[in-house]
Amino acid sequence: MRAKPEWYHYKIGQLPHGNRENEDCFSFSSVHYICHLNDAFRVFEDRRIRSSLVWDEGKLRRTRKCVSWASANTWFNGSIYGNVRFEFDWKELVDGKRFYWVEAITRYNPAAFRILISETEHPDLKAYDVANGEGPLLYNSTNNTWYRNGTFTSEFLFDEDLALEDCKKVGFDDHHPSNCRRFGSQCPHLGKRGIEVGAKLLARIVGHRRLQFAKLFLDAPSKTKCLHSEAASTYMHLRKSLTVDEDSDGRLRHDHPAAQVLVSAVLDNYGWDRPNGAAKLRNLFDNTKELRIAFRDRMMAAFGVRSERALTGEG
């Protein structure tokens, strides 16, 4: 009798009836890559999520395969991978590609299944049939829907870079308070809220004029261009963080020719955690109101919106 393949132990449940879905057979349409602040800014500089060698205990560590990672899972107690989330359309990512079973990582809780997705053949791995329903990932051609077994952690590996132009949205997650897969207990962002780290990313992007993909922070379905809700929250957090000390002797107003350049410098210092430099630059403004008006104007120009209501997600 032929032994069952490893993926059979993580077999998906029954297809849902009507609108009710079970956790072991959960439909999904997008996947995401989550990383820390510095890596996220590097993605904007490189215009891609670069594939790399597998460094953990998985079987691909013994190969020279370079992969990019994505998952469909969400995090109840905070992400263990960082605060910045790059979202991709699943169907677009896998269109015309082959699927290969890599392994299950059972020491994780819950266990994780890993599937490699590629345009090329990988004879060293077992081909995975996404249509037969004998594993944790299923494509139902009848309703053109993908399902996964949500009781396990999904880890999808792509043997290529993920181009930022294929990304649909950048959002922000809270970091797990005590667990970081990459930096362990030394991670400086343990327990950090997504809007806190997101504000630093926005500050870096605007301060360094990495604005080619500013649309990833916009509310795509909206007829009126505005920041999506997560980006709007980071904007408001950043705005509240920009103040001028009452005893400062600055005189610069928001309509001064140097105001926009100065705001960019403030944002650069804020984004790179240089509080002393940011404070000195902020205090060159006459008062907090003038600073925030200049900041508003800089952000409106950066994201191509027409009002502060659009920056706060109100359209």
What secondary structure does DSSP assign to 292-311, as a single string? HHHHHHHHHHHHT-SSHHHH
Residues of the chain with pLDDT under 50: none
**The pLDDT value given to residue 76:** 85
Residues 181 and 198 occupy one common structural domain: no
**The pLDDT value given to residue 238:** 98
pTM: 0.95
Cα separation, 98 vs 112, whole angstroms: 20
Residues 268 and 218 occupy one common structural domain: yes
**The pLDDT value given to residue 223:** 67
Q: Are 232 and 226 in contact (CB under 8 A)?
A: yes
Tell me whether residue 52 is in a domain: yes
Residues 30 and 142 occupy one common structural domain: yes
**The pLDDT value given to residue 16:** 85
Residues 171 and 215 occupy one common structural domain: no
**The pLDDT value given to residue 300:** 97
Tell me whether residue 124 is in a domain: yes
**The pLDDT value given to residue 220:** 80
**The pLDDT value given to residue 170:** 98
Residues 107 and 212 occupy one common structural domain: no
Question: Domain range holding 283?
Answer: 194-311
Residues 286 and 257 occupy one common structural domain: yes
**The pLDDT value given to residue 21:** 83
Residues 25 and 154 occupy one common structural domain: yes
Tell me whether residue 1 is in a domain: no
Count the domains in the chain. Answer: 2
**The pLDDT value given to residue 1:** 57
Residues 235 and 259 occupy one common structural domain: yes
**H or E stretch at 235:** helix 229-241
Residues 151 and 227 occupy one common structural domain: no
